[in-house]
Structure 1
Amino acid sequence: MADVKIPAANTFGTSTRGALPYKELVLAFSYGVYLLEQYIHIRQHRRLRSAVRPAALEDVVEQDAFLRAQAYGRDKSRFRFVQNIWSLLLTTAILSYDLLPLLWNAVGAGLYRYAGLSAEYEITRSVVFVLVFALVNAVIDIPFNLYGTFVIEERHGFNKQTLALFFTDFVKSLLVSAAIGAPLIAAFLSIIHWAGASFYYYVWLFMVVFQLVMITIYPTLIQPLFNKFTPLPEGQLRTKIEALAARIQFPLTKLYVIDGSRRSSHSNAYFFGFYKNKRIVLFDTLLEHSTEEEVCAVLGHELGHWKLNHMIKNLVVAQIHLFTVFYLFSHCYRDAHLYRAFGFTDNTMPVLIGFLLFNYIFSPVESVLSFAMNMLSRKYEFEADAFAKKLGYTEDLKSGLIKLHTKNLGDMNPDPWYSAYHFSHPPLVERLAALGKTE
């Protein structure tokens, strides 16, 4: 299939007089964010060195469990220092040495040499560029992921993976990402070429449909490639969960246990599905260390998100954000200086590259939005806790949360700045305090 040839209107020719120094601004913001986050990170690391439990946890969390959680947090914190500086240096190298246009030109040369595809095959070139770029990033991340899994997680008793399973998952993830990403990118670019300047509306509609399809097929077709789902056996727990679902009119159709212990000792529970076809999934690790009432309390919290329409609200917010991104991008994707500023000096302006560069310059806004979304998420978590409390699970939810944090070695004494900036869930101390308040 021949791709759409870039019209002459896309060639460089726009005056750059008075144009913004995009690359320098992106780098300056990257370093500014790095310094801010490192300051917050240092505050958090100091907290992790404390051996003193918060007063609210003294009667509910053993000192030994608290110290183990602190040690786990310190190991992860030190590792994040390394990851953060590496990420900054990598971004600096990519932008300073114009590695993006270098890769773009290399992909174009390869396609022409081995497939006879000229520059007019922009969509094919863009798809290959993304696949190669993603592969390079994935390979670069392997040492970090290996250390995180087989050193930090192993040291603290969480890792259950073998090297064979690790690399099997790695290959599966790459193949699944390529199988989904390649047609997605091709469709995304085809719509933009077809729709012209008003593409933002059509691309947004396409992405809405794509997200809904992915929400539907991921738990039923993709996740089973990595985990085994087993129906929860008949018994008291199943009876209690079904009674809970009926009590709040949750349309439960399936109840599964997932083999999370195959890879990690961390535990969780969640639900998925549309309309009257809802399914609940329990991690086998959750069942191992929780009572039946605690499992129901944790589910009461999760079902609170459903009852209070948190998922729909988040979906609406996400769509507003997505539409805004596409709308703003439609006003700058033909800005010749944007491409030139990042080293793209040939005579075309690839749409995919424009979108990638736009995301660089839009990153300050994304940082603010991420902070706002964390605030909204914490609000929803408190509301879901309150919902479980109204169901009569106050004490069981408290003990369940304490066990989850203790078994997962969760952060029990975070710095307030750090938790406000990074956490999508409220700290344990705040959740216990909210559950303890009288109505």
Structure 2
Amino acid sequence: MTSLLHQLQGALADPSIPWKSVLLASIGAKEVFETYVGSRQRPYLSPVLHPTLPNALKPYLTAPDAHDTYRKSQAYARHKLDYGSVMTVLDLGETAVLLSGVALPVWNALGLPLPAGGGQSQWTLLRGFWDLAARVPFAGAGASEIRQSAAFVVLLTVVGTVLSLPKEYYRNFVLEERHGFNKMTRATFAKDQVKGLFVSLALEVPLVAGLIKIIHWAGSDAILRMVTWLIVFIFCIQIAMIFVYPYVIMPLFNKFTPLPTDSPVYPRVKNLAEKLNFPLGKVWVIDGSIRSSHSNAFFFGLPGLQKHIVLYDTLLEKSKPEEVEAILAHELGHWKGMHVVYLLAVALTQVAVSFSVYALFLENGALLSAFGFPPSAAASPLELVKNKLGMSHGGTGPTIVAVLLASMLVSPLSSFLQFVTNSITRHLEYDADAFATKLGASYAVNLKKALVTIHEKNLAVYGVDHVYSAYNHNHPTLVERLEALDSQLARDTKKST
């Protein structure tokens, strides 16, 4: 196995391979595929080609304004699809600039560092950011690779956040506002961007440090050992995030208030939890309405400890108490079915598959040199051995850059994995719906009503191309869920008679 790995690594390190063209073609292929998938959806959003509700939904959508809501949902979906298409072009442009030397005149005008000994003909903005990272105060001259990589990630994240500001501004204050969803003030938007940046950096820097440490210790030629320890590392982070996200991150952006005990929803939540032996802690209401009129509900809590339920205030405003109870029955179906464990296993499998492929490129000097890095920048086997023995103090090259380039190079793989993960999560959604239905016919009826209400209030799309849905939706479509609920209810009724 090791011999085969070395042969593959050697073949891929051939300097005659035009890696820049190959990488850009790979990214472009993914974007072309996603554009094609989006084009399949467009006919379903046309008021000319699809002027009325899909026949399968007509039995469920009987409100007098159902047709108007359908037209509004088409307009909203068209706007989002158009926005996504423009973002694809902009993202491709930004990536092309990052991986080329077109920004060199601006870089020179700003007096920013260039590679020692010339080499400007092969310079790329990616190389420029790596060199600039060595000048960041906390990295320092002659800094270890981990510190320089942390500075590199900080630079990319800050620049990426700045570039995303006009995109996010348009999405919130034009797209969402035009369709009646945006409730965010510009002050809240500004604070969210600043908080989001610091949260991203606080998470990314230790993640990158751990990633590099593991790759150096294990060695990219020992795929099994490297991937095993990466899985352990990511698993620990995932478990930590179960605590950190609801207790630390979410309160930075939203206010949590206890659900009043005199609320008509409270006794329903409590009785449902007791019925299912759900270890209920507190029931919180989150002020989602300060940003959007979209709604949601979820629970959180560490394994083996109390779980806390969170209801968006918009959900309580739009849905009847019995519908909220049915939604919670669905959510507790995820708990009962241990779906979090399945999703964690899926995420760790993705890590294993991705880094097994990335390992082929982590020592590829030809790949790095195509983007302005000297071939010696790739971590050599000798340096990796020194790292394992604790004899090296960094300087093995930009591992984080190699990982970044490898992830771009095999980006079509992420498209395939997206189909797989969506298929799995959709199955879990069906399972949670079936769980709620088995609690009684009233739960099935109220869950259907709740799904229709949420769908209508959120202007979610009604007609969906099956390929587009499989790629973009991790939940079944409305008609798929309603038909599955009817089938499950019929089976349960037949069993009870």
2:288 paired residue number: 260
Query: What are the ranges of 5 or more consecutive residues in structure 1 without an aligned counterpart?
Result: 1-12
2:82 paired residue number: 78
Mean Cα deviation higher: 403-412 or 198-207: 198-207
Residue 182 of structure 1 aligns with an amino acid whose one-letter code is V
Aligned pairs for 1:263-282 within 5 A: 263-274=291-302, 275-282=304-311
Question: Can you list the C-alpha shifts for 1:50-77, whole angstroms capped at 9, x where unaligned?
Answer: 3211113234431111111111111112
Contact 1:200 1:330 in 2 (8 A): no
For residue 19 of structure 1, report the CA deviation from its aligned partner. 5.7
Q: Describe the shift of the 1:115–1:426 C-alpha distance in structure 2 as closer, same or farther (beyond 3 A).
A: closer
Mean Cα deviation higher: 87-96 or 286-295: 87-96
Asked if residue 122 in structure 1 is aligned to residue 170 in structure 2, the reply is no
1:250 paired residue number: 278
Question: Can you list the C-alpha shifts for 1:174-226, whole angstroms capped at 9, x where unaligned?
Answer: 11222232233223323433444544433332221122111212101111011
Distance in 2 between residues matched to 1:182 and 1:88, nearest whole Å: 25
Distance in 2 between residues matched to 1:22 and 1:333, nearest whole Å: 14
2:418 paired residue number: 370
Question: Can you list the C-alpha shifts for 1:3-27, whole angstroms capped at 9, x where unaligned?
Answer: xxxxxxxxxx999547643332222
Name which of 393, 412, 418 aligns with 2:462: 412
Distance in 1 between residues matched to 2:345 and 2:36, nearest whole Å: 34
Distance in 2 between residues matched to 1:120 and 1:360, nearest whole Å: 27
2:54 paired residue number: 54
Query: What are the ranges of 5 or more consecutive residues in structure 2 without an aligned counterpart?
Result: 1-9, 102-123, 378-396, 492-497
2:237 paired residue number: 210
Distance in 2 between residues matched to 1:315 and 1:329, nearest whole Å: 21
Distance in 2 between residues matched to 1:33 and 1:192, nearest whole Å: 27
Distance in 2 between residues matched to 1:18 and 1:174, nearest whole Å: 38
Compute the TM-score of the two structures, normalised by the length of structure 1. 0.91
2:105 paired residue number: none
Aligned pairs for 1:21-420 within 5 A: 21-50=18-47, 51-61=51-61, 62-97=66-101, 98-108=124-134, 110-111=135-136, 117-197=140-220, 198-235=225-262, 236-274=264-302, 275-345=304-374, 347-348=376-377, 349-392=397-440, 393-420=443-470
For residue 330 of structure 1, report the CA deviation from its aligned partner. 3.9
For residue 346 of structure 1, report the CA deviation from its aligned partner. 6.3
Q: Describe the shift of the 1:15–1:66 C-alpha distance in structure 2 as closer, same or farther (beyond 3 A).
A: closer
Q: Secondary structure of 1:276's match?
A: coil
When the two chains are superposed, the root-mean-square deviation of aligned CA atoms in Å is 2.1
For residue 120 of structure 1, report the CA deviation from its aligned partner. 4.7
Contact 1:204 1:326 in 2 (8 A): no
Compute the TM-score of the two structures, normalised by the length of structure 2. 0.81
Question: Can you list the C-alpha shifts for 1:274-318, whole angstroms capped at 9, x where unaligned?
Answer: 223111100000000111110011111111111112111111121
Q: Describe the shift of the 1:16–1:193 C-alpha distance in structure 2 as closer, same or farther (beyond 3 A).
A: closer
Residue 359 of structure 1 aligns with an amino acid whose one-letter code is S
Distance in 2 between residues matched to 1:16 and 1:301, nearest whole Å: 51
Show structure 1 runs of 4+ deviating over 6 A. Answer: none
Q: Describe the shift of the 1:18–1:100 C-alpha distance in structure 2 as closer, same or farther (beyond 3 A).
A: closer
2:390 paired residue number: none
Mean Cα deviation higher: 96-105 or 79-88: 96-105
Contact 1:252 1:276 in 2 (8 A): no
Q: Describe the shift of the 1:106–1:284 C-alpha distance in structure 2 as closer, same or farther (beyond 3 A).
A: same
Contact 1:14 1:337 in 2 (8 A): no
Distance in 1 between residues matched to 2:462 and 2:414, nearest whole Å: 28
Contact 2:297 2:328 in 1 (8 A): yes
Q: Describe the shift of the 1:33–1:187 C-alpha distance in structure 2 as closer, same or farther (beyond 3 A).
A: closer
Question: Can you list the C-alpha shifts for 1:137-174, whole angstroms capped at 9, x where unaligned?
Answer: 11111111101100111111111111111010100111
Contact 1:40 1:418 in 2 (8 A): yes
Q: Secondary structure of 1:302's match?
A: helix
Aligned residues: 424
Q: Describe the shift of the 1:326–1:397 C-alpha distance in structure 2 as closer, same or farther (beyond 3 A).
A: same
Residue 275 of structure 2 aligns with an amino acid whose one-letter code is R
Larger radius of gyration: 2
Mean Cα deviation higher: 399-408 or 21-30: 21-30
Q: Secondary structure of 1:65's match?
A: helix
2:476 paired residue number: 426
Q: Secondary structure of 1:74's match?
A: helix
Identical positions, percent: 42
Question: Can you list the C-alpha shifts for 1:237-271, whole angstroms capped at 9, x where unaligned?
Answer: 21111111122221111111111001110001001
Contact 1:268 1:286 in 2 (8 A): yes
Residue 254 of structure 2 aligns with an amino acid whose one-letter code is N
Q: Describe the shift of the 1:143–1:189 C-alpha distance in structure 2 as closer, same or farther (beyond 3 A).
A: same
Q: Secondary structure of 1:414's match?
A: coil
